[in-house]
Amino acid sequence: MATPVVRQFGGARRRLIEELQAKGISDLAVLRAFDEVPRHAFVPSGVRHRAYEDAPLPIGHGQTISQPWVHARYLELLGLTGRERVLEIGTGSGFQTALLSRLAAQVFSIERIPALAQEAQAALAECGITSVVQRVGDGSLGWPEFAPYDAILVGAASPEVPRPLVEQLAIGGQLLVPIGGREEQVLVRVRRTEAGQERTSLDAMRFVPLIGTHGFED
């Protein structure tokens, strides 16, 4: 049964889904996740009226919640079946974390800013999502204790592909990470194979920097 927070803004949420479809998102599981997860629960009250615009929004601490199309594109590229173990680098608002909880079997999420991690945890709980495992730490190092992962999503830009994340992929697993400078990047998909890895450059992106040992300096 849907919680009250999920039922709110139903019309605006459906309009966003229609906009995502018009922009090329066709994965029905991803679209269903967007229908089930209330984005307004993951943004500050001051911008809640804009929650269902296809635009990034500020969430405090110098961070943003990504444009919904970006989240949808990430998830569609992964093609999750519901059986995967997934690592998310950059919990941020917790919105993508919530979407992943609808699409994967296990979700682990790392956030480097303690206050953001607490706010995301509260928003997830408000939506009745209790299955996600979270921690505060350096996301560029990954979370080796629970590796290997079938998919790793990095929600911040790195100057190069963080080596620990590739090492924590299962064979056949894939990593999505924006690579470039602090202002502009290209989304790169890395697939781990028996022989090594395969890299594919995809969409132009613009993310906040990944701060950490294998990212940018603070």
Statement: residue 131 has pLDDT above 90: no
Per-residue confidence band for 4, with pLDDT thresholds at 50, 70 and 90: low
Distance from C-alpha of 77 to C-alpha of 176, rounded to nearest angstrom = 9
Q: Which two tokens stand for residue 5?
A: 């927070």
pLDDT above 70 coverage of the chain, percent? 97
Per-residue confidence band for 207, with pLDDT thresholds at 50, 70 and 90: very high
CATH of the domain at 91: 3.40.50.150
Residue 212 falls inside a structural domain? no
Domain containing 14 equals 4-205
Residue 197 falls inside a structural domain? yes
Active site residue 158: no
Residue 150 falls inside a structural domain? yes
Residue 173 falls inside a structural domain? yes
Question: 26, 66, 93, 201: which one is catalytic?
Answer: 66
Statement: residue 209 has pLDDT above 70: yes
Residue 213 falls inside a structural domain? no
**What is the number of structural domains in the chain?**
1
State the burial class of residue 142 (Cβ atoms within 10 Å of its Cβ: 0-12, 13-18, 19+): buried
Statement: residue 1 has pLDDT above 50: no
Q: Which two tokens stand for residue 202?
A: 């995809």
CA distances from 170 to 66, 167, 189, 201 (A): 27, 8, 14, 20
pTM of the model: 0.94
pLDDT at 3: 57
Tens-digit pLDDT profile for residues 26-43: 999 999 999 999 999 999
Contact 27, 79 (CB under 8 A): yes
Q: Which two tokens stand for residue 127?
A: 């939506």
